[in-house]
Amino acid sequence: MTGARRDSFDVAVIGAGMAGMAAALFAAERGLSCIQIGNGGSLLFASGLLDLLGVHPVAERRLWQSPYAALAALAREQPLHPLARVDAHSIRAAFESFVTALAAAGLAYAPLGERNRKLLTSIGTIKTTFGVPLSMVAGTGVLDARPPCLLVDFRGLREFSAAQIAATLGRSWPGLRHQRIEFPGCEGAPELYAAHLARALETRETRARTVALVQPLLGDAQAVGFPAVLGLARAREVHAAFEAGLGVPVFEIPTMPTSVPGLRLLSALEAMLSARGVRRRHQASVRALAFDAHAGTATLELEGISGGAGGERVFARAVVLATGRFTGRGLTADRGGVRESILGLPVHQPGSREAWHQRDFLDPSGHAINRAGLEIDDAWRPLGASGKPAWPRLYAVGSILAHQDWMRSKCGSGLAIATAWAAMDQVALALGGTGAG
Amino acid sequence: MSPMIFQTALYASLVLCALGLAWRVSAWFRVRVGPDARAVTLSRRVAAVFQGIAATLASRRVFQIPGAFVLDVLLQRRLFANEKLRWFGHLLVVVGFTLLLLMHALWASVTVKLFQGYQPTLDPYLFLRNLFGTMILVGVALLLYGRWRRRTGLPQARRRIDAAFVALLAFVLVTGFLLEAHKIASPRAFYRMAEQFIGTTDAEKLMPLRALWASEFGVAFADLKTPIAPHLVQQGRELHRDACAFCHTPPASAFVSYPVAQILAPVSGLLDQVRADIWLLYLHVFACFLGLASLPFTLFFHVVTAPISLLVNAAAPQRELPGQTFPTPTLSSAVRASRRALALDACVRCGICDMRCSVAPLARYLGNPGLLPAHMLQATAALADGSLLRPGREAGALRAAEGAFLCTDCGRCTSRCPVGLDLADLWEAARGDLAAAGLPAPAQWVQARAALAWAESLEAGPGQYIFSAADAWSAPLSADRRTFSRCVQCQTCTNVCPVVAHSIDSEHGVDLTPQKVMNLLRLGLGDLTLGSRMVWDCASCYQCQEHCPEGIRVADIMLELRALAVHRLGAVRSLGERS
């Protein structure tokens, strides 16, 4: 099903965060012609780790080893939670499809399995997650066994301190050592930036000089951890070269956002969509969206973020809102309350601003405003003021949906990928295509 | 006119012309354009040119020259490709002028020898003289019209002396036509001839001949009654056949002068009294001599320079030309220097380059014609002779420098120049000279001081300053807080910036990172960014803008800050500051 006109598509996905990327991928995989509108920059805040569901219930901060068991509990206790609307079979299929596509685009993940993994963060805390890039996966093993291990950092790289990690974990991990080295070629630099180191390490010479600097520091270490700067486009090659050069497993520790794994994820997702013929307008936003009830098409009026490109129109038979909450600017908050930014759809929200937040900012149960979002029907269609779907083929996915607090539940990627999959099944059904189910 | 005066004036003009030519040609070896030209001695340049000529003559390239002479010089192929109308006008002028020169001006040494019985008052010469003169007038009119029609909206590059030359040419033609018209209508001329060939000036005796000449040759006898009796005309015809027909055909074929003669008829007696025949002749001839003597210094000089430029191009092109079958010789600085000097002389200011210039819209926007090629060429010439940098002309020099550094080197002027000048090479050389004269590219003069030093001099100058609504027209992004208010200082711009990545030592690297620039703008400290190396070293790769999670137009802002810096820092910059 390809639109006859160059500006007509089966599906228009608005938003280029994790949910928008997943929706565009799944649309393409279902044989639907697709245009994606939105700046993918928000993905740079991603860590490259794919959470599914780590914490439930939020108020108890209970961590789960099995995300699927957690999902089952969630479905029982919070049936309105978007993830409660997707069955486990679909979630498995969605994640497999997503990481397979990423691997084909050059970003390989460790086999997903059925369990959450534990991972070291750049400040020495431990994070529970589900999908882990291959370059980081050795870190999950050493965290469990805690063998002698060396953490290396670079002088001038502000966002990563091996000493801090060692200080936090040293008491429970006696074999954990840390060393600071000069990054080859940047000896005088007052400040280093992760992405530049990552690119520099793609040259064989810098790589070899770095390995040579670390080699004498190895001692009895059975694994070496680095900040996540081991290559960008050729990350696999850099990681392999480090392991071969040092002779022990090497793992990356995700750094503070915006990070190199975020850049890798963004470029892999972009490559993945390009390879599938998804049209991308990543320097544009949707200025206006209108629906023609008769023709059954939506008209999207675009504007470039640099201005000047105003007035361009594209047409789609189905529209997927993946515009996110407040940081993605899918929702707009003002003194009167919260509204959806493009169409002004009604937003499920606390009754008044006083009710947005708990008295205590760090209240374990989270804040009501963090569960605000769009109400949907069973077919993932946001509801209009009348309580019926706003338009027969307007769908919503990802964090713009109500009744979830993805940050505290550790379910951001899961929410994005699972809802995109389920909603795209409905899109395909409505457009008469094949549901991948 | 006495032969002595004529001869003296002619030889004086020829000597002046020859001296002028020698002086102008010597300029091709003397004038220095470009830093590389300054390093070459005069003798080296002379030698290089002669070596080049010898090498060309000894090579296969020599066979290119005849073809180029016909196609480029005679048929003006390059002008034809540009504009058919002006090509036609030019052709009319060239053909008309050449034939008029040979047949009329040089009649004694050319026409008489080729055609027996030549008399200026016989057909077809009578007709042809008018035809050639008219061709020139029409051709000049077409050239002027073509120039006017393709005007760029900015003043055109011109020299007063060129306008004076066109006026002189018109003056020669007009006096020529007037002289001829007056002689047709003049009774005095009739009686002078009658005395010479019939032996009488008696009006009554000559009555039949006068009747004929009045009715068919346009002589305006004041005392002849009209209508003229046909039998008188008939009688006159016999006398005419014996005494006059040998040298005279009816002047109606002089299709310009004859109607003019009829217009002059009522005053021809008066004109005879004031001896118009003498002073018109003097004006006509001396205007020609003036044109000849001043030839090396007027537009007319292109008769010499343009063919040389075109033939040199054909024999030794500077760069690959389409369809060229043999390798391009690499030119030494010595030859290049001479060709640049030649280019300054060979430009005819036709303005075709201005018309094709890809930054012409920018020139209009800035109101600075100095961006246009024909103006740049004039500025380059002024730079070479030192007049551009004379005290009191700073504004002109700055305009020229702005133009030179905004040129994008697209090469369209070079590819369209009807004289085949390598203008792109000339601009490169001129920029080198400008930089050496203390007028370097903005990136150079801005970066000669540190960002902080600039900010301090701004403070001392027109007062402390933050971008405000008043700047909205020139700096719409920097003056609008919404542009960068969303910045969360996430460093993504810095992380993806190849310029930051490349600058690893703090001495030559960027002083601010992109996100710091955004932050300074946010804090209202925009002046601190204007002279910063980040702003000026920005490669405009747009990675920052494409990656910014908040959709901030980082790269567009950098470009805008550069434009703003030229404007604001230029105002507090002390001229001639060496960088």
Looking up residue A229, the CATH number of its domain turns out to be 3.40.50
For residue A14, give every residue at least 6 positions away whose Cβ sits within 8 Å of its Cβ, in sequence order, or none: A20, A37, A38, A286, A289, A300, A319, A320, A321, A322, A323, A342
Q: Chain B partners of A39 at a C-beta cutoff of 8 Å?
A: 548-549, 551
**Which range marks the domain in which residue A359 is found?**
8-105+264-430
A211, A317: one domain: no
Q: Which of B504, B546, B556 sits opposite A189 (nearest CB)?
A: B504
- Listed by number, the residues of chain A in 341-400 with a beta carbon closer than 8 Å to a beta carbon of chain B are none
pLDDT of B467: 61
Q: Kindly state whether residue A182 falls inside one of the protein's structural domains.
A: yes
- How far is C-alpha B132 from the geometric centre of its chain's CA atoms? 25
CB of A404 within 8 Å of a chain B CB? The answer is no
Based on C-alpha coordinates, what's the Rg of chain A? Answer: 23
A419, A270: one domain: yes
Q: Are B162 and B298 in contact (CB under 8 A)?
A: yes
The shortest C-alpha distance from A333 to chain B (Å) reads: 15
Secondary structure (DSSP) of A339-380: EETTT----B--SSGGGTS-SSTT-TT--GGGG-BB-B-TTS
Q: Kindly state whether residue A135 falls inside one of the protein's structural domains.
A: yes
Strand ranges (DSSP E) for B5-45? Answer: none
A369, A298: one domain: yes
The shortest C-alpha distance from B508 to chain A (Å) reads: 11
Q: What is the mean pLDDT of residues B70-80?
A: 92
Identify the helix (H) or strand (E) that includes residue B425: helix B423-436
Burial label for B3, CB within 10 Å (0-12, 13-18, 19+), is: exposed
Nearest Cα neighbor of B512 from B564, B455, B470 is B455
A36, A140: one domain: no
- Listed by number, the residues of chain A in 180-199 with a beta carbon closer than 8 Å to a beta carbon of chain B are 185-186, 188-190, 193-196, 199
- Listed by number, the residues of chain A in 121-140 with a beta carbon closer than 8 Å to a beta carbon of chain B are none
A249, A270: one domain: no
Q: Are A231 and A201 in contact (CB under 8 A)?
A: yes
pLDDT of B327: 43
Per-residue pLDDT reduced to its tens digit, A204-248: 999 999 999 999 999 999 999 999 999 998 999 999 999 999 999
Per-residue pLDDT reduced to its tens digit, A119-152: 999 989 999 999 999 999 999 999 989 999 999 9
B486, B495, B558: which to substitute to probe chain A, counting the most A Cβ within 10 Å? B495
A296, A420: one domain: yes
* B487: closest chain A residue by CA: A327
> What CATH number did the domain enclosing A50 receive?
3.50.50.60
pTM over 0.90: no
**Cα–Cα distance between B193 and B514 in angstroms, integer?**
93
What DSSP character marks residue B511?
S
Q: What is the mean pLDDT of residues B285-304?
A: 93
Per-residue pLDDT reduced to its tens digit, B166-216: 999 999 999 999 999 999 999 999 999 999 888 888 888 888 899 999 888
A292, A212: one domain: no
Q: Is residue B160 pLDDT above 60, yes or no?
A: yes
Pairing of strands A331-334, A337-340: antiparallel
Contact B501 A195 (CB under 8 A): yes
**Cα–Cα distance between B351 and B356 in angstroms, integer?**
9
Contact B495 A258 (CB under 8 A): yes
Structure tokens at B398: 């700055």
Q: Kindly state whether residue A117 falls inside one of the protein's structural domains.
A: no
Q: Kindly state whether residue A437 falls inside one of the protein's structural domains.
A: no
Q: Is residue B260 pLDDT above 80, yes or no?
A: yes
Q: What is the mean pLDDT of residues B36-47?
A: 88
pLDDT of B557: 93
Q: What is the percentage of chain B residues whose pLDDT exceeds 70?
A: 93
Q: Are B535 and B442 in contact (CB under 8 A)?
A: no
Across B218-227, B265-274, B311-320, least confident range: B311-320
Tokens 């369809």 belong to B323
Q: Kindly state whether residue A1 falls inside one of the protein's structural domains.
A: no
Tokens 């000036």 belong to B201
Binning pLDDT at 50, 70 and 90, where does residue B524 land? confident
Contact A41 B548 (CB under 8 A): yes
- How far is C-alpha B388 from the geometric centre of its chain's CA atoms? 18
Nearest Cα neighbor of B498 from B508, B487, B510 is B510
Q: Are A190 and A223 in contact (CB under 8 A)?
A: no
Q: What is the mean pLDDT of residues B51-75?
A: 87
Helices marked H in B295-367: 302-315, 333-346, 352-356, 360-366
Q: Which of B501, B513, B553 sits opposite A305 (nearest CB)?
A: B553
What DSSP character marks residue B70?
I
pLDDT of B452: 86
CB of A42 within 8 Å of a chain B CB? The answer is yes
Q: Kindly state whether residue A146 falls inside one of the protein's structural domains.
A: yes
pLDDT of B259: 94
A286, A402: one domain: yes
Mean pLDDT by 10 residues, chain A (437 residues): 68 96 97 92 88 94 96 96 96 97 95 94 92 95 93 93 93 94 88 91 95 96 96 94 96 91 93 94 88 87 70 92 92 91 94 89 90 96 94 96 95 97 96 58
pLDDT of B319: 52
Identify the helix (H) or strand (E) that includes residue A226: strand A224-227
The shortest C-alpha distance from A199 to chain B (Å) reads: 9
Q: Is residue B118 pLDDT above 80, yes or no?
A: yes
Q: Which residues pair with A396 in a beta bridge?
A: A321
pLDDT of B141: 94
Among the three residues A207, A232, A253, which one is the final residue of a domain in this structure?
A: A253
Q: Kindly state whether residue A176 falls inside one of the protein's structural domains.
A: yes
Q: Which of A45, A186, A193 sits opposite B549 (nearest CB)?
A: A45
Q: Which of A188, A194, A196 sits opposite B505 (nearest CB)?
A: A188
**Cα–Cα distance between B28 and B345 in angstroms, integer?**
8
More confidently predicted of A416 and B579: A416
- State how many domains chain A has: 2
pLDDT of A177: 95
What DSSP character marks residue A131?
B
Q: Is residue B579 pLDDT above 50, yes or no?
A: no
Q: Are A46 and A262 in contact (CB under 8 A)?
A: yes
Among the three residues A228, A253, A278, which one is the final residue of a domain in this structure?
A: A253
**Cα–Cα distance between B341 and A75 in angstroms, integer?**
86
Across B422-431, B494-503, B553-562, least confident range: B494-503
CB neighbour burial string for B164-173, b if at least 16 within 10 angstroms, e if fewer: ebeebbebbb
The shortest C-alpha distance from B77 to chain A (Å) reads: 42
Q: Kindly state whether residue A259 falls inside one of the protein's structural domains.
A: no
Binning pLDDT at 50, 70 and 90, where does residue B328 land? very low
Q: Are A427 and A393 in contact (CB under 8 A)?
A: yes
A144, A57: one domain: no
A37, A67: one domain: yes
ipTM score assigned to the predicted complex: 0.73
For residue A61, give every residue at least 6 positions away whose Cβ sits within 8 Å of its Cβ, in sequence order, or none: A55, A364
For residue B124, say if its preceding peptide bond is cis, omega within 30 degrees of 0.
yes
CB neighbour burial string for B497-508, b if at least 16 within 10 angstroms, e if fewer: bebbbebbeeee
Burial label for A413, CB within 10 Å (0-12, 13-18, 19+), is: buried
Helices marked H in A48-193: 67-77, 88-104, 134-145, 162-169
Q: In what order do the strands lie in the sheet with A250-253?
A: A176-181, A149-154, A224-227, A250-253
**Residues written for chain A:** 437
CB of A280 within 8 Å of a chain B CB? The answer is no
Q: What is the overall mean pLDDT for chain B? A: 87
Name the phi and psi angles at B427, rounded to 5: -65, -40
A272, A400: one domain: yes
Contact B504 A186 (CB under 8 A): yes
Among the three residues A253, A281, A301, which one is the final residue of a domain in this structure?
A: A253
Q: Is residue B225 pLDDT above 90, yes or no?
A: no
CB atoms under 10 Å from CB of B355, counted, come to 21
Q: What is the mean pLDDT of residues B393-419?
A: 89
**Cα–Cα distance between B399 and A270 in angstroms, integer?**
46
Binning pLDDT at 50, 70 and 90, where does residue B466 land? low
A160, A29: one domain: no
- How far is C-alpha B407 from the geometric centre of its chain's CA atoms? 19
Q: Are A14 and A38 in contact (CB under 8 A)?
A: yes
pLDDT of B472: 62
List of domains in chain B: 15-182+299-303 (no CATH), 186-280 (no CATH), 448-572 (1.10.1060)
